[in-house]
Structure formats: structure tokens, C-alpha cells
């Protein structure tokens, strides 16, 4: 069989600090916004607490203790043959409150060590600067990204990272899944803001549109500013945006359904993609803001900053597809990111996410047709309730099936002319679920012995998919 994948294709995996590091106050780290979010379960919303309460379980505090196990974990990733490892930096490890003038040296050293370990195995790092968290103090003081002041603190944080890791990191992502701020679900989880217009604490699903889009605007400006800054520190840096690709099909070919799907795709995906990649707000967004009475305060220099700070590559996550329909009686389905109409042609995961590998190829075409810059599949994965057998094995054949079917579609997309940098599976090791705070929703090739209540030895076990992914990488995508 012809090898479809380029020789330098980045096979690997992706994690985020707050879902795996733990050590939440160790070596000078401050509390992050995620440290204030409790655990929940399927279809239950995680709760945000103003203070850390003793009888509430906050899963980020221990995570899977990657902070103390990174060497062992990276060794396992290397054993699978990873070419790339995507991880995020916890802002509150570098600036514990966010407002200090000088960074926390111990926090920087931790990431020095992670990078050193990756280098040892020739694994290319892909660093996410902001993965759904900010220092809690900063968020409280300024109401997070709702205030313009947060931009300056973010730029200061990025400058420290760019200078420190100038020779160790080439690929950076500014904000993880920035477009989730267009939804009313994850806004707090983005560390976006804490209080509503009356000063009352907000929970996910309760953030006024005006505030979310204002916070989003500040993130756009911050991203563009740091893209410009990065190039002055190392012109070889490659900066990417990151979208949660919300793949939405019309349920039928009724023209009204087609138009509804088009609007949903524009608002949920292309608004953010266009600002990051084209450098300006698309006209449909301006009209949407007018219709919804959303008025965003912009500085006179913002347009220029956005134009000058466009990204080099487009990273995205893809897990599922959903349908939209103008008929209110169609059967709905709910995942923690997307909810919409059920597609009769695809299967569904235990957590209500529709499994649609062809949707990934369709996504690759849509993004490449529109933007014509390299694409990076920064997340794709299957959350499942894996069983650890008495003999220590985990037979996750369903994960292998998911992986195989998605990799096949990536290969086809490459043969159809799409430029793809790599594929980092979410999460190569089990970790805390972002949406539910559970451990039970496992994505890993490596099982971690820890449960939803925080019990377990934290011991690592290889699942069946571990050997399978290893073969895929060794054959550069041929042995599937
Ligand atoms: C993405 C996030 O939305 O989906 C990750 O970037 C997250 O942080 C992943 O973990 C899977 O979602 P969940 O809710 O199953 O953990």
C-alpha cells in the first residue's frame, strides 16, 4: 500500500496541565481557575466554587500526578514512538497570582525538565499556552478575560515563556478551543470570567452573551499580540490557533436546514478561525452582533493588532459531529460540548458523543478549503469506561476501532491534497475529564489507577491500544 503520510508526520498525543499535573500548590504554584471546579458526572454540570472547600472534591488538585510522574509517563510515550507531545503550561505555576512582576523560577524549572525529557527521546513539543485556565487571583481581580488588563498580564506571561524556551520549543498554540467562548457552556472553564454584570458569581451556562464576546475579543487581541511578540524573540517559532471543530450537518436537504447548518458553522467555527487566520472579524459576525445587541468595546488599535498577529497553522480538536434541523420535534442528543439533533447513520459513545470518522475528513476539507494553511489535528479521541482485568490487562478494542477508522480518513484526506502536520491523540494517558471531572471517562493508551472519588494507587498499566498505536507509528500510518 502506498504510504500516504509524509515522512515527518507528527504522530503523538495531547494533554493539559489542569487535567493531569496535580501538585496544585506545589513549588510556589498559585490556584488556577480550574482548581475551583468540582467533579460532576455525565450530564451533570461541574460547579465553580469561590473558595476551596474541605468537603468538596476538586479533581485538578491531584490530577494523575503527572508533576511527579512525568519521566515515567514520557518514557511510555517514547516507547509508543511519539514524534510529538502536546502539553499545556499552567499559567499559575509561572505567575502564581498572575500579577507578579517576576516569574516563579520553580515553575519554569518544571517545564525545563519536561522539555529536557522530551528532547532525550526526540519528541517535538507542541505547547498550549492557555488550556482552559488562568490564575484564580487574576480572574477574581479583573473578572478574567472580561477586562482588558488581563491582556497585559498574559503578554507578560508569554514573553517569559518565549524567552525561556526560545531554543526548546518551535510550535505554540495560544488558546485551546477558543471558539468554546461562543457557546454558553464552557466559558468559566476557559478561565474567562467569574462574575456577571451585577457582580454575582456565574456558573457555566449562565454567562451573558455580551460578556462572553467581550472576553473572546480580549483573547483574540492577546493572541495576536503574542504572535507578533513571539516572532521578535525567535522568527522560527510557529504559532497556531486552536478550534474545537463543531462539525454540524443539516439533518435534511431542506433548504432551511442547509441554511441553519451554514449559520451554525459560521458562528461556532469560522468566526474565530477568520479572526485568527484572516486577521479580521467576518461580516456575518458583525451582523450577528447587531441582531443580538452584542456590543464589543474595542480599542482603536485592535484592528491593526488582529491584522498583524495572524497564525501560521490551524490546530483543531475533532471528536464528533452533530445535526441541526429546523424541525423542533427531531430527537436530540447531548454531549458536554455540542448538543443537537441525532444522526441516524452514526454510532454514539457512552457519553453521548457521535462517532463519525468521515466527519473528520470533511472537517479537514472545510478548514483547508477556507484557510489554505497547514492543519494540525491537536485532539481526537474516545472517552470510555475501561475495565482493568485481574491480570492487569485492559482490552480496549473499541478504542482501536475508533482510532483505525479516524486514521484511515486522515490518510484519505492527505491523498486528496490536504496539508496536515500531525495527529496528537487526546489523551494518551487517562486523566481527569474536562467536561465532567470524572476519571471514569478514559481516553488513554495507558490506564491510570484512580477513580472518580480520587481513590487508587495512580499506578500506570498499558492497554491493548498501546501496542496498536505503537505499530501505527512505527509503520507511519500504514499498519492499520
Ligand atoms: C476538549 C478539551 O474539548 O475535549 C480537553 O480541549 C478535553 O481538555 C477533551 O479533555 C475531552 O473532553 P472531556 O470532557 O471528555 O474530557
Atom 10 (ligand 1): residue with closest C-alpha? 434
Q: Which ligand 1 atom lies nearest to the CA of residue 441?
A: 15
Q: What is the pLDDT of residues 121-169, one digit of tens each?
A: 999 999 999 999 999 999 999 999 999 999 999 999 999 999 999 999 9
> Which of the two residues, 261 and 190, has the higher pLDDT score?
261
Q: How far is the CA of 16 from the centre of ligand 1 (A)?
A: 9
Q: Which of 274, 297, 295 has the alpha carbon at shortest distance from 284?
A: 274
Which residues fall within 8 angstroms of residue 116, CB to CB, at 6 or more apart?
none
CATH number of the structural domain spanning residue 346: 3.20.20.80
Bridge partner list, 425: 13
User: Helices 209-233 & 149-164, crossing angle to 10 degrees?
Assistant: 30
Tell me the pLDDT tens digit for each residue of 1-10. 567 899 999 9
pLDDT, residue 47, reads 85
Whole-number Å distance between alpha carbons of 263 and 259: 6
Q: What is the pLDDT of residue 188?
A: 64
171 C-alpha to center of ligand 1: Å? 21
Are the C-beta atoms of residues 425 and 417 closer than 8 Å to each other?
no
Q: Is 133 in the pocket of ligand 1 (CB under 6 A)?
A: no
Query: Does residue 184 have a pLDDT over 80?
Result: no
Residue 63 falls in which region: left (phi positive, over 0), alpha (psi -120 to 50) or beta:
left
Cα 419 to averaged position of ligand 1 atoms, centre (Å): 25
* pLDDT above 90 for 194: no
Q: Give the pLDDT band of residue 256 (cuts 50, 70, 90).
A: very high
The DSSP secondary-structure symbol of 356 reads: -
Give the burial class of 199: count Cβ atoms within 10 A of its Cβ; 0-12 exposed, 13-18 middle, 19 or more buried: exposed
Quote the ligand 1 centre to 190 CA distance (angstroms): 12
Instruction: Decide: pTM greater than 0.90.
Output: yes
Residue nearest to atom 2 of ligand 1 (CA): 434
Q: Which residues fall within 8 angstroms of residue 221, CB to CB, at 6 or more apart?
A: 151, 299, 302, 305, 306
Asked whether the predicted pLDDT for residue 457 surpasses 80, the reply is: yes
Residue nearest to atom 9 of ligand 1 (CA): 434
DSSP 8-state symbol, 195? B
Q: Is the pLDDT of residue 203 over 80?
A: no
What pLDDT digit, counting tens, does each position of 267-324 carry?
999 999 999 999 999 999 999 999 999 999 999 999 999 999 999 999 999 999 999 9
pLDDT digit string (tens) for 337-392? 678 999 999 999 988 899 999 999 999 999 999 999 999 999 999 999 999 999 99
Q: How far is the CA of 1 from the centre of ligand 1 (A)?
A: 34
Is the pLDDT reported for residue 187 higher than 70? no
* C-beta 426 within 6 A of ligand 1: yes
Q: Which residue has the cell 492497554?
A: 463
The three state secondary structure string of 272-307 is: HHHHHHHCCCCHHHHHHHHHCCCCCCCCCCHHHHHH
Residue 428 Cβ < 6 Å to ligand 1: no
pLDDT for the residue numbered 339? 80
Model confidence at 50, pLDDT cuts 50, 70, 90, reads confident
Q: Which domain holds residue 456?
A: 10-474
Contacts 24+ apart (CB under 8 A), 353-358: 353/319, 353/320, 353/383, 354/320, 354/321, 354/322, 355/320, 355/382, 355/402, 356/247, 356/320, 356/321, 357/402, 357/405, 357/406, 357/408, 357/409, 358/409
| Pocket perturbation via mutation, ligand 1, pick of 377, 379, 380, 386 by most ligand atoms within 8 A of CB | 379
User: Does the pLDDT at position 204 exceed 90?
Assistant: no
C-alpha distances out from residue 381 to 51, 288, 349, Å: 33, 33, 11
For residue 106, CA distances in Å to 29, 91, 136, 190, 328 come to 9, 13, 19, 25, 54
Averaged pLDDT, 325-335:
89
Residue 195: per-residue pLDDT: 78
Which of 21, 379, 409, 438 is an active site residue?
Answer: 379
Q: Is 317 in the pocket of ligand 1 (CB under 6 A)?
A: yes
Could you give the 3-state DSSP secondary structure of residue 339? strand
| pLDDT, tens only, 392-403 | 999 999 999 999
Cell 463543531 belongs to residue? 246
Number of domains in the chain: 1
Mean of all residue pLDDT scores within the chain: 94
Q: Are 84 and 422 in contact (CB under 8 A)?
A: yes
Alpha-carbon Rg of the chain, whole angstroms? 21
CB of 465 closer than 6 A to ligand 1?
no
Q: Check residue 199 and give its pLDDT.
A: 72
Question: Does 434 sit in the ligand 1 pocket, CB within 6 Å?
Answer: yes
Q: Which of 425, 428, 434, 441 to mutate for ligand 1's pocket (most ligand atoms within 8 Å of CB)?
A: 434
pLDDT at 335: 66
- Residue bearing the CA closest to ligand 1, atom 15: 433
Per-residue pLDDT, averaged over 433-448, amounts to 96
pLDDT at 183: 87
pLDDT at 186: 64
H helices of 392-453, where? 397-415
Instruction: Give the percent of the chain with pLDDT over 90.
Output: 88
Nearest Cα to Cα of residue 429 among 394, 479, 397: 394
Q: Is residue 479 in some structural domain?
A: no
Q: Give the model's confidence band at 404: pLDDT under 50 very low, under 70 low, under 90 confident, else very high.
A: very high
- Ligand 1 site, residue 177, Cβ cutoff 6 A: yes
Start-to-end CA span in the chain (Å): 11
Ligand 1 centre distance from Cα of residue 287 (Å): 31
Sorting pLDDT into bands at 50, 70 and 90, what band is 190?
Answer: low
Which residue owns the Cα nearest ligand 1 atom 8? Answer: 434
In a domain, 256, yes or no: yes
379 is catalytic: yes
ipTM: 0.99
Ligand 1 neighbourhood includes 433 CB (under 6 angstroms): yes
d(CA 128, CA 322): 27
Has 105 been annotated as catalytic? no
Q: Is residue 431 lining ligand 1, measured as CB closer than 6 Å?
A: no
Atom of ligand 1 nearest to the CA of 383: 15
* Dist. CA 68 → ligand 1 center (Å): 22
State percent of the chain over pLDDT 70.
Answer: 97
What's the pLDDT at 41? 81
Q: Which of 21, 124, 133, 177 is catalytic?
A: 177
Q: Residue 44's pLDDT is what?
A: 77
- Could you tell me if the CB of 382 is within 6 A of ligand 1? no
Mean pLDDT of 212-220: 96
How far is the centre of ligand 1, averaged over its atoms, from the C-alpha of 379 (Å)? 8
Amino acid at each position: 500500500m502506498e504510504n500516504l503520510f509524509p515522512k515527518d508526520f507528527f504522530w503523538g498525543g495531547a494533554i493539559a496541565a489542569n487535567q493531569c499535573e496535580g501538585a496544585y500548590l506545589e513549588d510556589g504554584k498559585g490556584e488556577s481557575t480550574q482548581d475551583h471546579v468540582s467533579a460532576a458526572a455525565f450530564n451533570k454540570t461541574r460547579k465553580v466554587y469561590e473558595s476551596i472547600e474541605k468537603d468538596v472534591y476538586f479533581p485538578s488538585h491531584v490530577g494523575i500526578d503527572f508533576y511527579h510522574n512525568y519521566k515515567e509517563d514520557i518514557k511510555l510515550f517514547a516507547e509508543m514512538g511519539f514524534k510529538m507531545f502536546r502539553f499545556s503550561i499552567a499559567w499559575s505555576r509561572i505567575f502564581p497570582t498572575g500579577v507578579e512582576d517576576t516569574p516563579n523560577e520553580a515553575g519554569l524549572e518544571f517545564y525545563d525538565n519536561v522539555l529536557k525529557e522530551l528532547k532525550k527521546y526526540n519528541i517535538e513539543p507542541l505547547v498550549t499556552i492557555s488550556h482552559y485556565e488562568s490564575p484564580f487571583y487574576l480572574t477574581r481581580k479583573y473578572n478574567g478575560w472580561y477586562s482588558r488588563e488581563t491582556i497585559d498580564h498574559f503578554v507578560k506571561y508569554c514573553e517569559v515563556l518565549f524567552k525561556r524556551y526560545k531554543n526548546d520549543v518551535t510550535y505554540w498554540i495560544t488558546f485551546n478551543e477558543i471558539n468554546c467562548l461562543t457557546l454558553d457552556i464552557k466559558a468559566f472553564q476557559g478561565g474567562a470570567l467569574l462574575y456577571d454584570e451585577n457582580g454575582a458569581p456565574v456558573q457555566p451556562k449562565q454567562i451573558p452573551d455580551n460578556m462572553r464576546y467581550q472576553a473572546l475579543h480580549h483573547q483574540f487581541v492577546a493572541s495576536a499580540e503574542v504572535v507578533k511578540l513571539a516572532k521578535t524573540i525567535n522568527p522560527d517559532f510557529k504559532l497556531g490557533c486552536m478550534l474545537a471543530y463543531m462539525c454540524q450537518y443539516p439533518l435534511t436537504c431542506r433548504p432551511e436546514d442547509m441554511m441553519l447548518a451554514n449559520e451554525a458553522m459560521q458562528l461556532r467555527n469560522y468566526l474565530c478561525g477568520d479572526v485568527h487566520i484572516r486577521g479580521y472579524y467576518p461580516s456575518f459576525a458583525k451582523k450577528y452582533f447587531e441582531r443580538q445587541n452584542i456590543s464589543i468595546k474595542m480599542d482603536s488599535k485592535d484592528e491593526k493588532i488582529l491584522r498583524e498577529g495572524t497564525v501560521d497553522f490551524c490546530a483543531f480538536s475533532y471528536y464528533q459531529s452533530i445535526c441541526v434541523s429546523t424541525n423542533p420535534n427531531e430527537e436530540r442528543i447531548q454531549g458536554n460540548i455540542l448538543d443537537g439533533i441525532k444522526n441516524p447513520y452514526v454510532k454514539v459513545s457512552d457519553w453521548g458523543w457521535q462517532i463519525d470518522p468521515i466527519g473528520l475528513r470533511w472537517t479537514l476539507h472545510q478548514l483547508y478549503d477556507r484557510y489554505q494553511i497547514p492543519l494540525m489535528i491537536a485532539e481526537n479521541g474516545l472517552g470510555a469506561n475501561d475495565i482493568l482485568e485481574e491480570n492487569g490487562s485492559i482490552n480496549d478494542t473499541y478504542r482501536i476501532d475508533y482510532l483505525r477508522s479516524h486514521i484511515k480518513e486522515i490518510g484519505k484526506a492527505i491523498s486528496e491534497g490536504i496539508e496536515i502536520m500531525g495527529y496528537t491523540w487526546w489523551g494518551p494517558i487517562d486523566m481527569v475529564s474536562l467536561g465532567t471531572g470524572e476519571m471514569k471517562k478514559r481516553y488513554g493508551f495507558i490506564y491510570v489507577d484512580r477513580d472518580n472519588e480520587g481513590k487508587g494507587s495512580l499506578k500506570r498499566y498499558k492497554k491493548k491500544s498501546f501496542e496498536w498505536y505503537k505499530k501505527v507509528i512505527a509503520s507511519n500510518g500504514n499498519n492499520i
